[in-house]
Structure 1
Amino acid sequence: MTLFDLAVKNIRRNMKSYSLYIGSMVFSILIYFTFVTLKFSDEMFTEASSSTLVSTLMNISSVMLIIFVAIFIAYSNSFFMKKRKKEMGLYSLLGVRKKQIGFLLFFENMMIGLFSLVVGIILGFFASKGLLAILIKLMGLELVSSFTLSGAAVRQTLLVFIVIFLFTSLQGYYVIYKFKLIDLFHAEKKGEDLPKAKFITALLGVLFIGAGYYLAAQDIITSKAWMALGILTTPLIIVLLVVVGTYLLFHSVTVFVLSKLKNNERWAWRGLNLMTVSQMLYRIRGNAKTLTLIAILSATTITAGGAVFGLYYNIGKDTQKYAPNTLMWQGNAIDIQSDAIIYNESLMVKNEDLTIFKNEYNYSFVTLSQYNNIASLQGKEVLSLSGNNVYVIDAYYDERFSRAYTGEEMLVGEEKYMVKDFTSDAIFNTPAMFVTVVVADEVFEKLEGEQQVYQLVEMEDEKNQLAVSKQIESQLDENSSFSSYPETYHASVQSFGALLFAGSFLGLVFLMAMGSIIYFKMITEAEEDRSKYEILYKVGVNNKEMKKTIRAQVGLIFGIPLIVGIVHSMFALKAFSMLLSLDIVVPVVIWIVVYSLIYAIYYVLTVSYFNKTIRQKI
């Protein structure tokens, strides 16, 4: 039997262990191939406004994916090597030279890698049309995706992953030279360092995470802590506190809590609780670094995905805030041939230099009657003003760093005006008009500023009036201050849609890798625990009780990093929400639920494999 034949036999024999690893690699290759295909897609380049965005985004996403996949493959190979060191030791004991064992491992890794690569590209070819259709839908483009194979995408995918597989296969080849025979036979007994749980380290873990949460929950603009630490320095401090705190959480806090439970005799001697807690103490301490990594990656994935989904979810609301009219421009009226017009109004505006807050500005002035007319057409409240009282509209007002206008004195030339009230709820588009002052009609007549005319058009189904918008824009000059709801909306949809697409599939790759890592850990521990469960079965513990214990053990290993990651992400997303004044509760909840459901699939697979492994002995 040749080394190649033996490698094939070993892969078949270990297929249960390799299956999830191969599945994760195939999916990663599929996504990478899709990203590269989109980068070279002719359909995307026919849409000039989106071609550069998609190409740049896919380049960045591809690089991130390569780095992550390379680390994942290297980690997985080290796991499989550790799992099979006893087997390698047996080969060595039988007289097989290390060089031959190294070649055997090299062949196995290369075969698995090349098989995954071929399958990933084939599936990517068939999936790329569907994924391209998803991207087109998310970006709101009107394109027809074609079913073509990109030669450039195939070549780039082959080159990148063959290099990765060669590197990781050589890693497997050389690792055999690092160990003595005795090390190979005792490899499975070696785990990560098992730190002792101390109250002081447990307390530090809680304090570090609490400090990170406190800083993240502060308003960036008004927080004294952020000002003292520095706007650029504080996020780094938060990340450091949370990462170190998370490690200490698994290193000591959970161990401290489980130790207390173990010492509670009333609880510990109920069912198999004592055994479950004892095993969890070992596993959580032994896997502290891995669990920390998974919790941080989960938090990063949920935060990034939730933030992008939140931006995408709020596109309509945000666009409406700054473009309450479908179209607005400075200049004469244009005849629009459409049955979708709700109103088409002209607005007389005077721009005046003025002094307020002891600074000079240039604001737009409109009459009360014109304001009330537009407000009533938009279904908003009308105003009443008298004398030199004025009303200010500032769509960009933010109470955190803007002074309130109410009660302030406004000086226009020699004339003084008093701000009766103000709002950030605009009825005129920006940037066509920025800060607007509403004055009584008779006051407007006295203003000496140059009078300009603006056109305001509202249409039904405004986000789909892009053709009308472009037609109007083509008839205007560069100084018309043209503002368009459909153009702003579609620009945002294209940007955030592409980000959501890339972020979602990158997040899915990260999730599959994290699920696979826990799966690898647990199947190894299942094989180590078979003898313990065999003894329990012999002393009368039934299958139902053992399955319950297995579900609890696996559930803790899967559940704790997920819960920690979700809590981390909630504080990060709260800071993001406050910074941009966005309501992202609904999209974040949807994102977390979907993420958790996919994550739960790995839990179910792991429990199933764990049960099968245990039942082999009983």
Structure 2
Amino acid sequence: MTFRQFAFNNVRRNSRQYFAFFFSSIFSIMIFFIYAAFIFHPDISKDPTLGKMMGEAMTAAEGIIYGFSFLFVLYSVGHFLKVRKREFGVLTILGISDRQINRLLFLENIIIGVVSIVIGILIGMLLTKAFFLAASAVFDLKELPFYVPFKAMGLTTAAFLVLFLLIPFFSRSMIQSSHVISLLKGSVKPKAEPKTSPLLVLLSLGTLSTAYFLSSQGIGNAPLLWIMVFTLVGTYFFFSQLSVYLVRWLKSKESFFWKGNRILWLSDLAYRIKDNTRLFFIVTMVFTVAFTAIGNFLVLEKSIMRTMENEPFAFYYLSKEKPPHKDVTRTLDEKLTKAGVSFEKMKTILTFHRVKESPYPDPEGFMKWSDYRRMTQALGWKTKNLQNGEALALKSAEAQPKYILKHLTVPKTKQSFRLSAKPQVNFLPHSFLVYVVPDSAYQQLSKDPASTDTYIAYHVPEWLGHFPKSHSLETKLGKQWMESPALNKENEQPFARGFTLNSTKQGMNALLFVGLFVAIIFFLAAASFLYFRLYADLENDQHHYRAASKIGMTEWEMKQSVIVQIAILFFLPLIVAVLHTFFSLQLSQSAFGVSITKPAAVGIGFFFLLQLLYFGVVCHRYLAQLKRILV
């Protein structure tokens, strides 16, 4: 048997431990390849807007996938080395040198890496067309044709080949300094029962409670950094202290502990949790990041799209020039008329003055009542007449209620106003507040203002009340107008509802589309960590259950015990991560003012089903390994 055959047989013999690592590597390579194929697609690169946006999003995702894959592979290989310490000790006694062990590790990594790359790219090729169809539907594009992505193949092969070549140089140092005796002992579990500290148990409860309370108060009232610190500290001590304390408390309840086969799995559970504290902590935080990222994408998308959909006018033009460019709006008039679209063009001039009571140093905007009434009547909104000395506030989503003035005074014109009603929706493109005042008061304000803005709005009745498609006339005309060379000035702000809505939706879908697959990779890696830990204890569990069978435990009772322990190992971090995610999303909901309970529940439910499926596969394989010792 040659040395290469020996390395190949090592991989084949340890296939059980390599299963999760091999599967997760293939999935990461497959997603990396598909994203690269999408980036290099000829039709995507032709579209300057979408191509740039998708290129940046996918490139960022490729970097995240590659970096996380490196850490995942390093952790996995390091785990395999610890599990195989006894094997390396035997080889050392038989006369194998450190150089030959290095070569063995190198060959094993290359074998696994090359096979993973080949299978990952082949599966990616099979799924590329389906991915293109899904991307076309998500981004509302014409169907992307299939092509042979040679560039994507080359990039994926080179990137992951380098990764698998580098890993042995990092992993070998993990056993380089170990003596033969320590290698032969392998990884033996300590027998002492885990102990807990009452102070650390209280610390876990206190920090988690504080983090959840601050999250429920909203992002404006709670420093995000402190919430993260409390969550990290509380999670770590939850697994190392609080959960162990709960297990010991259950063991002290004789009516519970001595019922059925609970004595079998509870006796070992406290040790498993304590011994796997760092693993549970890492897995929980990885799950939390994956869930929270998807949830925040949904919050952000819903918030932005709600704001954009509330924009009532198909087009508007805001200019600080005096006078504004007539050619800009004349071009749009001609395009709409040529397309046979009926529209109403409305104009107003906003004047800006310093308000005595305002907490802001910048001047506040004032609008003529007759112009406001004309625009709102065109939209079908009800309005209330203003009397002398009254004003109406137009509030945007960004303006906080405490900054809305009940009374305001303009020192320059010596005019005073009081609010006549509750603030109305601000359809103007100004971030904070604009006040509508009677025409007579506006005449005085317009004589010597600090500055003025010209606002021209286009109301198109047939386009109001529905979301424009990417290939609709509204979107096409908007794109042509927004990309007009005449609009390149700093003091001009154009807006086309259809084009902007579609561009925003495509951008948010890109983030969600990319983030979903990255979250799945994080999720699979976290589940794989649990798999590695489970099989690290296989030999000890085999001795444990062999002894239990000799004292009368049935095979079914032992299976129940194993299933319960594996279920706790797989689902305890998941449940804690779901709690973290729920409270973290409270921050996002308070910041953006939208509720995403239903979509977040659907997303978490999807990951829960994935974990349940993975749990079923792992549990079946593990029970099969234990059953061998009982036959």
TM range (shorter): 0.7 to 0.9
Deviation string for 1:244-266 (max 9, x for gaps)? 22111111110011111111111
Residue 458 of structure 2 corresponds to which residue in structure 1? 455
% identical aligned pairs: 22
Question: How many residue pairs are counted as aligned between the two chains?
Answer: 601
Residue 394 of structure 1 corresponds to which residue in structure 2? 395
How far did residue 294 of structure 1 move?
A: 0.6
Change (3 A) 1:66 1:472: closer
Q: Distance in 1 between matches of 2:192 and 2:142?
A: 55
Q: Distance in 2 between matches of 1:350 and 1:429?
A: 11
| 2:159 counterpart of 1:163 | no
Residue 324 of structure 1 corresponds to which residue in structure 2? 312
1:4-83 → structure 2 map (5 Å cutoff): 4-83=4-83
Deviation string for 1:586-617 (max 9, x for gaps)? 33222222222222222222221222122222
Q: Distance in 1 between matches of 2:193 and 2:278?
A: 11
Give 1:457's aligned amino acid: V
How far did residue 503 of structure 1 move?
A: 1.3
| 1:202–1:252 Cα contact (<8 Å) kept | yes
Q: Distance in 1 between matches of 2:541 and 2:528?
A: 20
Deviation larger for 33-42 or 241-250: 33-42
Deviation string for 1:291-343 (max 9, x for gaps)? 0001111111111121012222444312123x2222233656825259996x7
| 2:578 counterpart of 1:560 | no
Change (3 A) 1:309 1:192: farther
1:105-124 → structure 2 map (5 Å cutoff): 105-124=105-124
1:419-458 → structure 2 map (5 Å cutoff): 419-423=419-423, 425-426=425-426, 428-430=427-429, 435-440=433-438, 448=446, 454-458=457-461
How far did residue 539 of structure 1 move?
A: 4.1
Deviation larger for 444-453 or 381-390: 444-453
| 2:33–2:153 Cα contact (<8 Å) kept | yes
Change (3 A) 1:442 1:285: same
| 1:195–1:251 Cα contact (<8 Å) kept | no
Change (3 A) 1:545 1:339: farther
| 1:247–1:292 Cα contact (<8 Å) kept | yes
Q: Distance in 2 between matches of 1:601 and 1:197?
A: 34
Length-normalised TM-score, structure 1: 0.88
Residue 89 of structure 2 corresponds to which residue in structure 1? 89
Change (3 A) 1:372 1:560: same
How far did residue 408 of structure 1 move?
A: 4.2
Q: Distance in 2 between matches of 1:67 and 1:348?
A: 53
Q: Distance in 1 between matches of 2:571 and 2:605?
A: 14
Change (3 A) 1:444 1:273: same
| 2:302–2:594 Cα contact (<8 Å) kept | no
How far did residue 413 of structure 1 move?
A: 2.6
Q: Distance in 2 between matches of 1:611 and 1:59?
A: 42
How far did residue 116 of structure 1 move?
A: 0.4
Deviation string for 1:396-448 (max 9, x for gaps)? 45326x5123444567834433221243523x3425x9744434566667764
Change (3 A) 1:146 1:452: closer
How far did residue 24 of structure 1 move?
A: 0.4
Deviation string for 1:121-172 (max 9, x for gaps)? 22223333433443444334x2442323333333332222222212223445
1:132-211 → structure 2 map (5 Å cutoff): 132-140=132-140, 142-171=141-170, 177-189=176-188, 196-211=195-210
| 1:352–1:412 Cα contact (<8 Å) kept | no
| 2:265–2:565 Cα contact (<8 Å) kept | yes
| 2:533 counterpart of 1:521 | yes
The secondary structure found in structure 2 opposite 1:416 is: strand
Q: Distance in 1 between matches of 2:192 and 2:41?
A: 49
How far did residue 395 of structure 1 move?
A: 1.5
Give 2:603's aligned amino acid: W
Residue 237 of structure 2 corresponds to which residue in structure 1? 248
The secondary structure found in structure 1 opposite 2:388 is: coil
Give 1:311's aligned amino acid: L
Q: Distance in 2 between matches of 1:446 and 1:99?
A: 90
Aligned match for 1:533, one of 532, 535, 545: 545
Q: Distance in 2 between matches of 1:99 and 1:453?
A: 77
Q: Distance in 1 between matches of 2:213 and 2:536?
A: 39
Q: Which runs of 5+ in 2 are unaligned?
A: 319-328
Q: Which runs of 5+ in 1 are unaligned?
A: 227-233
Give 1:34's aligned amino acid: I
Give 1:616's aligned amino acid: R
| 1:194–1:286 Cα contact (<8 Å) kept | no
Q: Distance in 2 between matches of 1:340 and 1:245?
A: 64
Q: Distance in 1 between matches of 2:481 and 2:467?
A: 14
| 2:394–2:434 Cα contact (<8 Å) kept | yes
